[in-house]
Structure 1
Amino acid sequence: MIHAYDKNYLSKAQNNLASMLDFAVYDLEEDLSHFYLKFLQSKICSQFERGESTVIVGKSGVELALDIIGDETLASKYRPAANRTPEYWCGWALAYFQWQTNLGFKEINNYISISEILAMYSPYHEMDISQFCDKMIELYNKRKNNTNLKALRLDAGLSQSELAEISDIPVRTIQQYEQNQKNINAAKAETVVKLAKALNCTVEALMEAV
């Protein structure tokens, strides 16, 4: 599996997303869902999920929250938390899942809301992070109606037979990938490159979370 960015940045990323949500909710008194929507709509979101050092290493979670709100004068509201809150865990766990799967935050939010992740605090905060990730992947795959291949094919306005002709990949093989009878992540590089070229997308866009 291709991770979102260098693992050396992961711990800092987790702490930043965690403290960002904690500060927004408890010190700025923002509604979690409303603030998270602001995060998704900000340029910080795409920078964060790509692992840009200026965002992950260059700023604290509090600074990220202030950038999203657009008011640095609110920094005076920061009060160090005595204990790690459910919102802190929510950000910490979500950052790990995003790094592990290389899914964008918006893509994750399309199927699993931030409030639902917060509701997973009990019992998952007491478990290994891998168990949280397994649950997230289960929910994501269950709710996602189409594989990336099928979604991209439909977006391109192609039938399976048309894609087969353009890519020189058998129709049956395309059907098996679209129906998850075969794992496209385990496909030969040549096959995925042909499909990506035919669909005018990147190889990564065809990969699934699991």
Structure 2
Amino acid sequence: MIHAYDDNMRPKAQATLGYAMDFAVNEAGYLPQDFMALFIESGLARRFESGESAVIMGMSGNELALRVFEETVGLQRPLAMRPRERGSKAYWIGWALAYFQWETGLTFRAILTAVPMEVIEDLYGAYHEMNVEQFVDRMVQLYRQAMPDTNLKRLRKLSGLTQEQLAQLSGISVRTIQQYEQRRKDVNKASLETAVAIATVLHCSPSDLLERIAS
């Protein structure tokens, strides 16, 4: 997996989102799912996912949360900028989510579409004292249960094409398309020529075909 930003930036990214979540929940009074919805709506989530230094390294968690509010709902009341709690449940949720996003390359929107925030909150009791990789393993299971289709299959269905039609239009054999959709062949290892041919028919980017979570 190629990560959007270096491993040496990851701890700061986790802390930033952890403190932002703690601020949003315990100071501003938001539910975790509502804050994440605003985070995504603000556009800051995309900048965070891409590893933009100004967001990950240049802001504290408090500052990130305030920027989210400024870009979406505005400031509803004066908020204290006191130090946040690293050990809070809200902190752990943001901290763990940031790690999972970095590890998989999925967007926050994709993660929360598959695994709702309420489910992630329920993982706190069992996983907050474990190694974060165990949280990742469980999240992968939940994501796969919610999103069993490959990106190729999902995009083909959205285009209204059968496997045979996609094969005819792309010049890629039906057998190859079937193997990619059934994960008997790894679409991540497809040649650029193959990926471009399929993506052109499906009106998407070749990168949209990639599987971010290994089977």
TM-score norm. by structure 1 comes to 0.90
- Partners of 1:66 and 1:74 within 8 A in 2: no
Structure 1 counterpart of 2:124, from 121, 125, 129: 121
String of CA shifts for 1:164-208, please: whole Å, max 9, x gaps: 122221101211211223332233444333322332322221111
- Residue in 2 aligned with 1:158? 161
CA change 1:83–1:165 in 2 (3 A) is closer
Residues 18 and 61 in structure 1, CA contact (< 8 A), matched pair in contact too: yes
| Alignment correspondent of 2:15 | 15
* Aligned Cα root-mean-square deviation (Å): 2.0
Preserved CA contact (<8 Å) 1:28 1:77: no
Structure 1 CA distance for aligned equivalents of residues 131 and 207 of structure 2: 28
Contact 1:27–1:79, Cα closer than 8 Å, also in 2: no
Deviation at 1:11, TM superposition (A): 1.4
Q: Displacement of 1:74 after TM fit?
A: 5.8
SS of match in other structure, 2:118: helix
**Cα–Cα, structure 1 residues 6 and 104, in superposed 2: closer, same or farther, change >3 Å?**
same
Q: Supply the AA of the counterpart residue of 2:5.
A: Y
Contact preservation (8 Å) 2:3, 2:105: yes
In the aligned structure 1, how far is the partner of 2:172 from the partner of 2:54? 42
Is 1:102 aligned to residue 105 of structure 2?
A: yes
Aligned residues with identical type, % of pairs? 45
Q: How far, CA to CA, are the matches of 2:169 and 2:209 in structure 1?
A: 16
Q: Which residue of 2 aligns with 1:77?
A: 80
1:59 is matched with which residue? 59
Q: Does structure 1 residue 187 correspond to structure 2 residue 201? A: no
Distance 1:162 1:56, change over 3 A: same
Distance 1:13 1:197, change over 3 A: same
Alpha-carbon offset, residue 48 of structure 1:
1.0
Q: Which amino acid aligns with 2:159?
A: A
Q: Distance in 2 between matches of 1:4 and 1:138?
A: 23
Question: What's the CA shift for 1:8?
Answer: 3.1
CA 186–127 in structure 1, closer or farther in 2 if over 3 Å, else same: farther
Give, in angstroms, the shift of residue 98 of structure 1: 0.4
Q: 1:62–1:115: structure 2 CA closer, same or farther, 3 Å change rule?
A: same
Please list every run of 5 or more consecutive structure 1 residues that lacks an aligned counterpart in the other structure.
none
- Alpha-carbon distance between aligned partners in 1 of 2:2 and 2:144, rounded to the nearest angstrom: 18
1:4 to partner: Cα distance = 2.9
**Aligned pair partner of 1:131 in 131, 134, 148:** 134
* Alpha-carbon distance in structure 2 between the residues aligned to 1:73 and 1:154: 43
Deviations 1:45-65 (A, max 9, x none): 111111111211121111111
Partner amino acid for 1:130? Answer: E
Aligned mate of 1:140, from 123, 139, 143: 143
Distance 1:75 1:103 in 2: 34
Deviation for aligned residue 1:78: 2.6
The count of corresponding residues between Structure 1 and Structure 2 is: 210
CA distance in 1 between partners of 2:8 and 2:86 (Å)? 25
Please point out which of 181, 201, 205 is paired with 1:202: 205
- Structure-2-length-normalised TM-score: 0.88
